[in-house]
Amino acid sequence: MTHFSAELWFDFARGIASPEQNVLMHHHLEGQCGKCSTELDMWNRVLEVARREGEYSPPASAVRIAKAAYASADRWTWLPRIARMARLIFDSARQPGAAPVRGSMPHTRQFLHRAEPFVIDLRVESEPARKHVWLTGQVLNSKRPGTNVEGVDVILLSEERFIAKTLANPSGEFELEFGDERGLQLFINIHGQRAIGITLPDPES
């Protein structure tokens, strides 16, 4: 029997699989495929927890499942493959008169990325001496600026390796703290949307 991939079941769970794919997958489930039912079940629980995170304390079992899924590196390797990359539209370090970055001094850099209709505002504070980075950001819908972007998962990977994950608040704001390293990619996973990828600059570049 041909099964469907984890990525496809994740799309299915989020309701963003194509209509044709939906029909095929429903049909496959009706055939009582245990492997795929388990996969779908896992994603449904992860999504449920992600949606409710912060609103109340979900049952310990759901938290355990979600944590295992989130912590497992291979659960996120699909992200770079399905994400669309955002376009950099502003970088404070590239502005005329921007102060050059000095070796070990703490510094802040701001970025704006666009992936229609979303705009992602990022502020990266680095402390090279401690090899530490604080990232704060906000996801905004440029077509509907007054409305909140809800259900936003933010995942940080380094060459497909899981580094950190957080859930944005109802205003689309999020923050992450991590060690300074190269090859970082940030993924903005908005409920019901194709994931958005952002390549973060390497330290000292």
- As measured in angstroms, the least distance from the Cβ of 12 to Zn ion is 12
135 closest CA partner among 198, 192, 90, 72:
198
User: What's the Rg (C-alpha) of the chain?
Assistant: 19
Does the protein bind Zn ion through residue 6 (CB under 5 A)? no
- Dump the DSSP string for 46-108: HHHHHHHTTTS---HHHHHHHHHHHH-GGGGTHHHHHPEEPEEEEEGGGSTTPPPPPTTS-EE
CB of 9 to Zn ion, least distance (A): 9
Q: Which stretch, 32-40, 62-70, 122-130, 155-163, contacts Zn ion (CB under 5 A)?
A: 32-40
| 3 contributes a contact to Zn ion by CB under 5 A | yes
Closest CA to 70 of 155, 193, 195: 155
Number of residues that bind Zn ion (CB under 5 A): 4
Nearest CB to Zn ion, comparing residues 27 and 95: 27
- Check: CB of residue 204 under 8 Å from CB of residue 128: yes
Q: Name which position in 8, 13, 25, 36 contacts Zn ion (CB under 5 A).
A: 36
Q: Is 33 among the residues that bind Zn ion (CB under 5 A)?
A: yes
Q: Does 40 bind Zn ion (CB under 5 A)?
A: no
Give, in degrees to the nearest 5, the angle at Cα 173 between 167 and 179: 70
In sequence order, what are the beta bridge partners of 117? none
Q: Toward Zn ion, which CB reaches closer, 36 or 86?
A: 36
Minimum distance of Zn ion from residue 112's CB (angstroms): 42
Per rule CB under 5 A, is residue 64 in the interface with Zn ion?
no
Cα gap 53→70, rounded to integer Å: 13
Q: Shortest gap between Cβ of 26 and Zn ion (angstroms)?
A: 12
Nearer to Zn ion, 35 or 131 (CB): 35
Residues binding Zn ion (CB under 5 A): 3, 33, 35-36
